[in-house]
Amino acid sequence: MTISDLQSIPVNSALLQFGADEMFVTDAGRSIAQMAIAYQTYGTLNGEKSNAVLICHALTGDQYVASQHPVTGKPGWWELMVGPGRPIDTSRYFVICSNVIGGCIGSTGPASVNPATGLSYGIDFPVLTINDIVRAQALLVDHLGIDTLFCVAGGSMGGMQVLQWAARFPERVFAALPIATGARHSAQNIAFHEVGRQAIMADPDWRAGRYLEEKVRPEKGLAVARMAAHITYLSENALQSKFGRKLQDRTSRTFSFDADFQVESYLRHQGASFVERFDANSYLYMTRAMDYFDLAAEYGGQLARAFLNSRTRFCVVSFTSDWLFPTSESRAVVHALNAGGASVSFVEIETDRGHDAFLLDVPDFIATTRGFLGSAAQARGLGAVSGVKA
* pLDDT digits 0-9 by tens, 182-239: 999 999 999 999 999 999 999 999 999 999 999 999 999 999 999 999 999 999 999 9
Question: What pLDDT sits at residue 250?
Answer: 85
Mean pLDDT of 21-35: 97
pLDDT at residue number 12 = 62
Q: Give residue-wise pLDDT tens across range 292-301.
A: 999 999 999 9
Q: Give the pLDDT band (50/70/90) at residue 281.
A: very high
How high is the pLDDT of residue 221?
98
DSSP-assigned letter for residue 294: B
CA angle, 146 then 22 then 34, to 5°: 95
Question: What mean pLDDT is reported for the chain?
Answer: 94
- Average pLDDT, integer, range 331-359: 97
Domain borders along the chain are 3-184+295-389, 190-286
**Number of other residues whose CB lies within 10 A of the CB of residue 246:** 10
pLDDT > 70? residue 278: yes
Whole-structure pTM value: 0.95
Residue 249 has what pLDDT?
86
The model's pLDDT over 40-53, given as tens digits with 9 standing for 90+, comes to: 999 999 999 999 99
- Taking 50 as the threshold, does the pLDDT of residue 2 lie above it? no
CATH annotation of 190-286: 1.10.1740.110
Cα separation, 383 vs 380, whole angstroms: 9
Looking at residue 13, its pLDDT comes to 78
Residue 99: pLDDT band by 50, 70, 90 thresholds?
Answer: very high
Q: What is the per-residue pLDDT for 267?
A: 95
> What pLDDT score was predicted for residue 10?
42
**Is the per-residue pLDDT at 376 higher than 80?**
yes
Average pLDDT of span 149-153:
98
DSSP per residue over 301-326, as a string?
Answer: T-GGGGGTT---EEEEEEETT-SSS-
Backbone region of residue 162 per phi and psi (left: phi > 0; alpha: psi in -120 to 50; beta: other values) = alpha
Whether 128 shows a pLDDT value over 80: the answer reads: yes
Q: Do the beta carbons of residue 40 and residue 78 sit within 8 Å?
A: no
Which residue numbers are catalytic? 156, 322, 355
Mean pLDDT of 137-156: 98
Instruction: Output the CA–CA distances (angstroms, integers) from residue 225 to 86, 108, 209, 228, 305, in the order listed.
Output: 33, 22, 16, 5, 36
Q: What's the burial of 210, exposed, middle or buried (CB within 10 Å: 0-12/13-18/19+)?
A: middle
Q: What is the pLDDT of residue 311?
A: 96
Distance CA 224, CA 199 (A): 6
Could you tell me how many residues make up the chain? 390
High-pLDDT (> 70) share of the chain, %: 95
User: Average pLDDT for residues 88-97, to the nearest whole number?
Assistant: 97
pLDDT attached to residue 384: 52
Least confident of 72-76, 110-114, 223-227, 370-374: 72-76
Is the confidence at residue 337, as pLDDT, over 60? yes
The yes or no reply on domain 3-184+295-389 and CATH 3.40.50.1820 is yes
pLDDT over 90 at 8, yes or no: no
